[in-house]
Chain A
Amino acid sequence: KNQVEQSPQSLIILEGKNCTLQCNYTVSPFSNLRWYKQDTGRGPVSLTIMTFSENTKSNGRYTATLDADTKQSSLHITASQLSDSASYICVVNDYGQNFVFGPGTRLSVLP
């Protein structure tokens, strides 16, 4: 069964600190993996997309990694800001129309 798991379920950090969110998947075949940021009451916004051959991709303070062999991805947030408080969702796509969503990690950045 195609599944995406994320950890931790929730995370609280102080402003300025770094954090890493994890995503494990069993989706096959694999086309790409995206990390989305969803602010409360808003739709998800794409942060990064990674294909099979990519190991690392950065978008400002966000850096995603992908290990296609172990089927794991991580999202590292550097120098966190209050505006980073949101849910971060890992979504894996096969070559068809199947997008498998992880349950998300709820990040709270405190001043």
Chain B
Amino acid sequence: SSELTQDPAVSVALGQTVRITCQGDSLRSYYASWYQQKPGQAPVLVIYGKNNRPSGIPDRFSGSSSGNTASLTITGAQAEDEADYYCNSRDSSGSHLGVFGGGTKLTVL
């Protein structure tokens, strides 16, 4: 089955830019989607497709992709961006199974 690999933890100074990455073979066929999850809350979609934000997601969130790596960039991180971030895609082998990355804990200093 396909796997998506994320760094377990990343930190960023308030107002600075941070990039969270996700690697996996499926990302050569599928765009990653990105979810933000705060403690005790359900995940929220923040980026999907090439670089699309759902309504209500601030434009400081952006996405990119190259080869087998997808990235979520937060430009000008805010305190409220401190959360867990998960990437997701579908297995590209034809199994139609879903897969999530292990998650990245973002700390805003």
Partners in one complex: no
Residues of A that sit less than 8 Å from B by CB: none
